Amino acid sequence: MRRLARSLYFWVLVAVVAGALTGVWAPATGVALKPLGDGFIRLIRMLVGPIVFCTIVLGIAHMRDLPRVGRVGIKALAYFELLSTVALGIGMAVAALARPGAGFHVDPATLDAAAVAKYASAAHEQTVADFLLNVIPATLPGALTSGELLQVLLVALLTGFGAAVVGERAQFFVSFVESASQVLFRIVAFVMWLAPLGAFGAMAYTLGKFGWHSLAPLARFMGVFYLTCALFVFVVLGLVARLAGFSILRLVAYLKTEIITVIGTSSSESVLAPLIDRLERLGCRRATVGLVVPTGYSFNLDGTCIYLSLAALFLAQALDVELSFGQQLTLLAVAMLSSKGAATVTGGGFITLAATLTVVPSVPVAALALILGIDRFMSEARAVTNLIGNAVATLVVSRWEGELAADELRRQLAAGGAETALADGA
């Protein structure tokens, strides 16, 4: 019992349940608790930029072998694009087979365009040129405070390559970054003990604001989406994991604290730093983790890809709009591009979905109003799928690089449950 009481996983789980009960039984109180969840997320996001910067810089600087950095990066990006395409394809296939929107018969004239106006305007304002220019920060230090993860990635990559090229003369700078990294991870360890409060407030607000009754009209769509995410994790990622020599079930058990935290906070960013730490404990080299995980948070959003394709076809079906095969392929291609960096933008899922819908004028962007009310409930599945997808990607790339022996990885994962519980209480 004492070990259980020292486990962060236990307290986050208790907080999620308590938050759900509070939101259902005392909705007004649940809504008032929203600052607890927002405060925790803001504390974590405050640290994400500097941690990603330090992790990538140290990974490249310590690797020294710049061709290897490029090789790891190319392997990671190739993996990301392949799995993202599979995720989009699965979302479309499930939508075509299950047809969750069939029978809704929504009249486009009844849609509330004002409810989604800000998402539609953001989607139209962001051109490809604007997106690319936005990756470049106004100042180098400004990238760490902008909240834009792609800007942090760019500056960190340039800094890491610069330090690697300079070599021994940059040792003082690299040592400083390493010390800063240790301090930042210690701060994260402190902040993570506030995760139960954050999860409690966020869950209480979600159910207090929307209530279970709000799910009834769209329960079928939610159920299809959750089942599709589970199918992707346990079948697609499960097959990838098996080919790489480990069990997806063992990995999910190993990451149980992070998964419960993501469910409570609806944000995969809340566990970025702990995920990096957990993967290093499994034996992945810091250089590989430092490249793959932060990059994956922008380019490997499997849950978001499933959501984009499934939601787009759901809305078309709800409006009784039949999309041709060519239109569906166009949607897939646009979603592949628009999903990049979606997790780093407030309302990113809705903005990218709005941008995707613009290529099929027969489905008005105002249709987003149909699913706006349940988006909060969908975000948990998106975030958890993104989290597990990035963990699998890192382990796969590490295996490709010969950093992890399959037997040792299986042993670490098998022992992970007990070791993780002890680590949570450290």
User: Measured in Å, how far apart are the chain's first and last C-alpha atoms?
Assistant: 16
Average pLDDT over residues 74-90: 92
CB 244 within 8 A of CB 19: no
Give the number of other CB atoms < 10 A from CB of residue 128: 9
Domains and CATH numbers, the chain: 2-424 (1.10.3860.10)
* Joined tokens for residue 333: 């291609």
Q: CA quadruple 190, 16, 368, 110: dihedral positive or negative? A: negative
Question: If you search the block for the tokens 């999860």, which residue do you land on?
Answer: 199
**Does residue 421 have a pLDDT over 50?**
no
pLDDT in tens, 232-281: 999 999 999 999 999 999 999 999 989 998 888 777 777 888 898 899 88
Average pLDDT over residues 55-72: 77
The per-residue pLDDT for 52 is: 82
pTM of the predicted model as reported, rounded to 2 decimal places: 0.79
**Does residue 136 have a pLDDT over 50?**
yes
Burial class (CB in 10 A: 0-12, 13-18, 19+), 99: middle
The per-residue pLDDT for 123 is: 52
pLDDT in tens, 139-179: 888 888 776 777 888 898 899 888 888 888 888 998 999 99
Average pLDDT of the chain, as a whole number: 81
Task: Round to whole Å and give the CA distance between 287 and 63.
Answer: 6
